[in-house]
Structure 1
């Protein structure tokens, strides 16, 4: 059982770290770059990304990492290891709640709303401005949560 735990923690640390890196790119330069181009172009670019990402290898990383976090939480509770289990639970909660579920609850609905906009006109420009602000804020949450989850899993590995 120890090898399953160690491999799970390694995979979760790598998975959540990679996801944090992807989100970090959006938070630090992609969305800023999109804010500097006309709304119609920004909307088209973001809609293209949103269509592409659901069919990309990202999903083979994002979803399985969430499932793995749930497995880690169960392992932490089944065989309590004090501080290591606390770190495992913290990492799992950060990733599942603040990264995975916030994506479903906040970012995806914003993406769906953006998809329905033609990209031109004052309504599109207003939606785009709000989208940039709100989507990026929630992306910051996802970035930080995924990074902290990775750190928690690495720290747990050091003491299991």
Structure 2
């Protein structure tokens, strides 16, 4: 690997792990804490979290890692005969599906419905939490696959 490529892949691995950690925190304790609140309070707290989530720290991480994943996909395809290319490709795709795909397809629409008052809190939780678990698992798996690809690329 060249030095810039090493830095880029390391950043992609770290970013995928970071996103897995953020999603894990929601799965492990944030949502269970909100679930313990009375329905209106839990719903209000989640709507507040959704507003703060749309600020630079999470948005830079989410979209920055997504851009890095696209670069890794292109590099993996270009370096296809190399050992590790398939691992890098798979890791980047899995991370993208988890971080952006599930978020855009399920979590954000549910957040919007919660904000608009068109979904009950219990219905929101029943759909949002499994989607968040999926994001967590996919980003963690993506991190592992990217790590293997980075090691095997040499």
TM range (shorter): over 0.9
Superposed displacement of residue 131, structure 1: 0.7
Pick from 117, 132, 150 the counterpart of residue 157 of structure 1: 150
Whether contact under 8 Å (2:62, 2:99) holds in the other structure is: no
The residue aligned with 1:103 is: 103
Q: Using CA pairs under 8 Å that are at least 6 residues apart, name the structure with larger relative contact order, 1 or 2.
A: 1
Q: 1:99–1:141: 8 Å Cα contact kept in structure 2?
A: no
Match of 2:127 in 1: 134
1:69 counterpart SS class: helix
Give 1:57's aligned residue: 57
TM-score (norm 2): 0.93
Count of residues in Structure 1 that have an aligned counterpart in Structure 2 = 153
How many angstroms apart in 2 are the aligned matches of 1:52 and 1:28? 19
Q: What is the RMSD of the two structures over their aligned residues, measured on CA atoms? A: 1.5
The runs of 4+ residues in structure 1 deviating greater than 6 Å are none
Moved more, 2-11 or 104-113: 2-11
Task: After TM superposition, give the deviation of residue 83 of structure 1 in Å.
Answer: 4.1
1:15, 1:65 within 8 Å by CA — same for their partners in 2? yes
TM-score, structure 1 as length reference = 0.90
* 2-structure distance, mates of 1:56, 1:29: 23
CA drift of 1:82 comes to 4.2
Deviations 1:17-57 (A, max 9, x none): 01100100101111111111111101110000100111141
Within the alignment, does 1:29 sit opposite 2:22 as a pair?
A: no
Q: Residue deviations 1:100-152, cap 9 Å, x none?
A: 111011100000000012xxxxx86xx10011121010000000011111111
